Amino acid sequence: MWKPFTAEKSAVMLFSKYPVPERSSLPQDLQVVLAETEEKAGFLPNVFATLSHRPEELRLFLAFYNNLMAERPGSNLSKADKEMIIVATSAENRCLYCIIAHSALHRIYSKNKILADQLAANWRHAELDGRQRAILEFAIELCHCRSPTPAHHQALGKWGLTEEDSWDIGAIVALFALSNRYAFLAEMKPNAEFHLFGRIDQPKA
C-alpha cells in the first residue's frame, strides 16, 4: 500500500513532496546541466531538483524546454513573449510555482516590472498591446483545451505572426500544462530568489 512521504524521509521536501536524489547519484550529463544552471542563476531552480526524482523525465523535460525557449531564426516570438504566455496560462491553471518563477523571467526579459503581476492576477485586464493580446487569446484557447478559431489565427497574422509561430505558442502552452501538473503533483514551492528578480535594480559595478 502506498504511504505518503514524511518529512523524516527527505529534508528537501520543503519544496517537493517527493524525495530528491543526491546530485552525485544522477547521470553525469544531468549533473553538468544542473551545475551550469546553478552557476548561471546563482541557485538551482526547484523544478530541476524536483524532476531529478526521475532523471529520464528531467532529461526529456529539459530537451523540450531548451528547444522551445531558444531563440531561433525566423521566429517572431521574443523571450518576453514566451514568458508572457507561460505566466498567463499558469495563472489560468493556478500553478504557484510557474507563476512566480516565470513572472521573474518575464520581468527580466521584458524590462517591465509591472506586467507579469497583472498577467498573474487577470491577463484580460492587463496593460497589453494588440499583438500581445492576440498571442494570449490564442494561447488561452489552447490552455482550456479548445481549438483556436480562424479568427484567432487571423489575429496573429495581422501582427506578423506566422503559422510556425502559432505552433510555438501551442507547444509552450502544452509544455507548461505539463509543468503545472508536475508542480501540483509534487506540491512544488518556488525558490525565494524568484520573488525579487527583475523588481529591484542591481547596483552598477
* CA pair distance 128, 130, nearest whole angstrom: 7
Are 99 and 118 in contact, with CB atoms under 8 Å apart? no
Q: Which domains does the chain have, with CATH numbers?
A: 77-195 (1.20.1290.10)
DSSP state, residue 149: P
Kindly indicate the confidence band of residue 138, based on its pLDDT and cuts at 50, 70 and 90.
very high
- pLDDT by residue (tens digit) across 43-88? 999 999 999 999 999 999 999 999 999 988 999 999 999 999 999 9
Nearest to 71 by CA among 61, 83, 60: 83
Take residue 138 and report the three cell numbers written for it.
490564442
Q: pLDDT tens, 99-119?
A: 999 999 999 999 999 999 999
Note if the pTM is more than 0.85: yes
Cell reading at 199: 523588481
Distance of alpha carbon 75 from alpha carbon 61, whole angstroms = 21
